[in-house]
Structure 1
Amino acid sequence: MKKKLFAILLSIVMVAGLLPTVAFAAENYNLYVNGEQFTSEKLSIACGEGTASYDPNTKTLTLNNATITNGGKSDESPKYGIRVVGDTDLTIKLSGTNSITLDNGGGIFADGSSDNYNIIGDGKLTINVKWDALYTLNGNISISEGAELDITSAQGCGITSYNKGIISIDGAKVAVSSYYTAASAKELEIKNNSEVVLIASADQFNAVYMGDENGAGKIEIINSKVEATSYYPALFTEGNLTVNGGEVKCTSTADGAIWTKGNILIKGGAKVTTDSKYPMGGNGSFTVEEAEIDAKN
């Protein structure tokens, strides 16, 4: 009886082994890089001699000496080197020297209702594009952990949170040369020995514009080096501006170099130099505590 039962079980196992396996469809992720989409079966995309790899569990895109020269979704115009679709956060980790170059496209673009970028790593990313370079429709943008960004936008904006989130540059090096505004959001914070250069070349634009439709906005620079240049005030906010330590140089070719609708506070041994047609100032109080100001007009 036992031998007969064993034979039956063995037969069942052998028959099961002959059955066709069930094929599971690959899961598509809402992330495109260099003209290709990440899927559960494709978590690494060749980018020149480097790679872009994606971890869907941590939502981390690692660029390792990646050279991105193609746009994302095929049905869009303009195309972007990195394209996020839908509501998803994205951490971009930089390793080595990376680049996004599109003569008739943009850099990094997300249009969901809540998309946050967190750019980290000790590598470098150069973005040289025609249109917007680093853009989120609804979300915050953070650049930290020694990351280095060199951004050029020939006919677009530099770093943008369109519906007014927060741009944070923390211990990073960022250079932006754009046609329209170089940095636009609700709030900008630059801290921990960051080095930042922001240039807008078009007339009637600011290098930095921080504010929303409710009149809220803020710029805070702490122990960092910042240079900003534009037609209208290089640093403009609907709210308050604070410079606490570090060195800030602002140039306006047609207006005041710094202007706020709130208060200005300069302290902590900061050195602020302005070169503009009119003096810097604002609609609120102007306070200087243990700082140095060289205002040229």
Structure 2
Amino acid sequence: MKRKILMLALLTAVFALLLCVGAAAADEYDLWVNGVQVTSDNAADVLGNADEGATVKYDAATNTLTLDGAELSVLHTYDNQYYGVILARTDDPLTVNVIGDSKITVGDPGENADSIRGVCGILHDETGFAPVNKTWSINLTGTATLDIEVNYFGSGIRAHEDVDIEKLTLNINVNKTDDITDEYGGGKFSEAIRANDTLTIENGATVNVNSVSGTGPIYSENGDLVINDATVNVTSLAGIELLDGSKLGANPIISYGDVIISGNSNVTAKGYLGICGNNIQISGNAVVDSTSTVDSAFWVPTGKMTITDNAQVTARGFIVGINSSGGVEITGGTLKACGETNYAIYSWEDLIIKNSIVEAMSDPEYYSIGATGAVDIDDSWVSSNNGAYDAAINNSVEITGSTGQAYGDVALPGDAIVPEGCVLVLNEGESLTIPEGVTLTNYGTIQVLGGSFTNNGTYIDYGKTIGEIKGSGSFPNNCFVTVKSGNGAVDVVYRVVKGEGFTLPEAPQNSGYIFLGWRSGDATYRAGESVDITSNATFTAVWGNLPDVKPSEPETPDTPVFPFYDVTARDWYTAWTWAYSLRTTR
């Protein structure tokens, strides 16, 4: 019996030990969410009773954190310097998958204020250098919306290496202004997204950022900043006053590598400064609009600015629209640039415009387009208020102010506009062709003086066109008026701006007939009459037969009963005054 009791006690102890070993066997991951460390035990519902439902889940196999309606705000720190509502030190890139609308609020940690270097919504370790076997990056994806509010110094999203954002909608508000501590701009700053290496926004992602900080809201410190097939809207209008009285402003999008925008991207950036990168490359069907309230809309400090393919770029700068140290190449794109107080486009090396549509508006004291090197314009349409400095122009149209000229044979490379008040003259040896699929809109005057004007695309004429237009294209704002004289002459077709008056021709000649007017439908109009034209119309001459009378000698007139005789002026005056005196005395 004693032996059985001893054996039972031994088994009980072993079982208890196994339970303890089992309890201690839970894996702890280098990942904290809302102040809770993620483990193998809580991975299916990280927050447990702290919220309703499993709003946060973790898959260790893929290092993926899933947010489904999560509301997160509790900070965690590993070293009392960097804090994160989501803080990762995992070996592999952390993927955050947002499948239900979620929100992260970044607030004041309330301790160690002097030693805090950054408080983040999502942080993949920022301390030291990542070992070779670790990749401290963040991949943000999903089908829902993630809102991040930054109310303290730090970042909405920050990674020691790369940040990749795709598919989801990300809204970040940076509500904390900077704390400048010296005249060099040192201090604590707030950003929306920061990657120490490459920052990529792609695959249908929509990113909206509004920042009051003096540092770049979207910032790549060492690698490239890539936007491909994504929508990005950034506003950063802060101007922080330094201790010496100068201002520190933010570039809404900035990279110490290259800024590369491609595909079907749509990017709008408005900031104290403009978009900045060592090289800026915009291509594909990208639409990019950058505005700087105090400087250049695009600033390229070392490399080149290139706009290619079908990219459409708008650059509004308080000083210069585009300012590039290493050259500007616009090949196959559309650019609207404005420099309020300087050039619209300036290159410190060569400036090349080829197969492109460019509109440049500058301070009247400066050329609109200029370069330290050569300015070459080929196969393009360039419109400006003050011209291009010392430009070589071939097979292109240049409009400067109210005058326009074609240089050689021009095939319009894209949709273009003749501005109101402008006269574009096509002289002998010059031609302008609107190709199929291209639209030219005229608010001014196009005058064909020995040259050639061909429309095989679309010509929308709100102004005036003097001379013949060849081609088989469409005229959406024109009506065609056909005049049929009916006297053997060829019918004449006039092109009239819709809604304007058409003056009918003078009466034609037709032997044996008398002209009675111009008939259109049930109405008949006089020669020279003006008729408002709102649709295509035909006017046909109406003729009446002259009487068939043979000429003959006129008969001798009868002598009147009271013949008239010529009298002198004096006799006529005397008779008139006598008759008048009789009338007044009665």
So what's the TM-score if we normalise by structure 1? 0.80
Report what 1:283 is aligned to: 348
1:209 aligned onto 2:279: no
Equivalent residue, structure 2, for 1:80: 120
Rounded Cα–Cα distance in structure 2 between residues aligned with 1:116 and 1:94: 18
Structure 1 residues 21 and 48, CA gap change in structure 2 (3 angstroms):
closer
Q: Is the alpha carbon distance of 1:24 and 1:36 closer, same or farther for their aligned partners in structure 2, counting shifts above 3 Å? A: same
- The answer (yes or no) to whether the contact 1:28–1:37 under 8 Å persists in 2 is no
Partner amino acid, structure 1, of 2:259: L
Structure 1 portions without partners, runs of 5+: 1-10, 211-216
**Aligned partners of 1:49 and 1:65 also within 8 Å:** no
Instruction: Tell whether 2:204 aligns with 1:134.
Output: no
Partner in structure 1 of residue 30 of structure 2: 29
**Mapped contact 2:209–2:233 kept (Cα < 8 A):** yes
Q: 2: distance between equivalents of 1:15 and 1:207?
A: 71
Q: Is the 8 A contact 2:108 2:152 kept in 1?
A: no
Aligned equivalent of 1:89:
137
Q: Give the corresponding residue for 1:7.
A: none
Q: Compute the displacement of 1:17 (Å).
A: 3.8
Secondary structure at 2:173 match in 1: strand
Shift of 1:39: 2.2
Is it true that 1:257 corresponds to 2:343 in the alignment? no
Match of 2:382 in 1: none
Query: Residues of 2 paired with 1:105 and 1:66: CA distance?
Result: 22
What are the within-5 Å matches in structure 2 for residues 38-53 of structure 1?
Answer: 38-41=37-40, 42-43=42-43, 44=46, 51=55, 53=57
For 1:61, the equivalent position in structure 2 comes to 96
Q: Percent identity?
A: 22
Change (3 A) 1:60 1:111: closer
Tell me which residue corresponds to 1:158.
Answer: 217
Moved more, 82-91 or 125-134: 82-91
1:193 to 264, 267, 280: 264
User: Per-residue displacement from partner, 1:184-241 (whole Å, max 9, x unpaired)?
Assistant: 111011111100011113xxxx32121xxxxxx2111012000001121111112011
Secondary structure of the 1:69 match is strand
Equivalent residues of 2:106, 2:152 under 8 A apart: no
Q: Shift of the alpha carbon at 1:51?
A: 4.3
How has the CA–CA distance of structure 1 residues 94 and 27 changed in structure 2, closer, same or farther, with 3 Å as cutoff? same
Counterpart code for 2:143: S
Q: Which moved more, 1:176-185 or 1:36-45?
A: 36-45
Q: What is the one-letter code of the residue matched to 1:221? A: I
- Do 1:146 and 1:172's aligned partners in 2 also have CA atoms closer than 8 Å? yes
Residues of 1 paired with 2:267 and 2:329: CA distance? 20
Asked if 1:125 corresponds to 2:170, the answer is yes
Distance 2:51 2:123 in 1: 15
| TM-superposed deviation, 1:69 | 1.5
Counterpart amino acid of residue 181 in structure 1: N
Q: Which amino acid aligns with 2:289?
A: E
Q: Which has the higher contact order (CA 8 A, sep 6+)?
A: 1
Aligned to 1:214: none
CA displacement at 1:55 relative to structure 2: 4.2
What is the distance in 2 between the residues matched to 1:102 and 1:49?
26
Give distance in 2, aligned partners of 1:96 and 1:49.
Answer: 17
**Cα distance, 1:95 vs structure 2:** 2.5
TM superposition shift of 1:48: 10
Secondary structure of 2:191's counterpart equals coil
Match of residue 232, structure 1, among 250, 272, 295 = 295
Tell me the C-alpha RMSD between the 2 structures.
Answer: 3.0
8 Å contact 2:108–2:151 — kept in the other structure? Answer: no
Deviations 1:51-102 (A, max 9, x none): 4555453421112311111359776465222222144011111321220013
Among 326, 336, 348, the residue aligned to 1:273 = 336
Of 134, 137, 150 in structure 2, the residue corresponding to residue 102 of structure 1 is 150
Aligned twin of 2:253:
183
8 A contact 2:259–2:281 mirrored in 1: yes
Equivalent residue letter for 2:39: S
Identify which range, 94-103 or 41-50, moves more after superposition.
41-50
Q: Which amino acid aligns with 2:313?
A: V
Number of residues paired by the alignment? 270
**Residue pair 2:105, 2:150 contacting (<8 A) in 1 also:** yes
Moved over 6 A (4+): 11-15, 46-50
Shift of the alpha carbon at 1:172? 0.3
> Deviation of residue 36 (structure 1)?
3.0
Which runs of 5 or more residues in structure 2 are unaligned? 1-8, 64-93, 131-135, 177-189, 239-249, 363-586
What is the letter of the counterpart of residue 187 of structure 1? D
Instruction: From the CA coordinates, give the structure whose radius of gyration is larger.
Output: 2
2:542 maps to none
- AA aligned to 2:265 is S
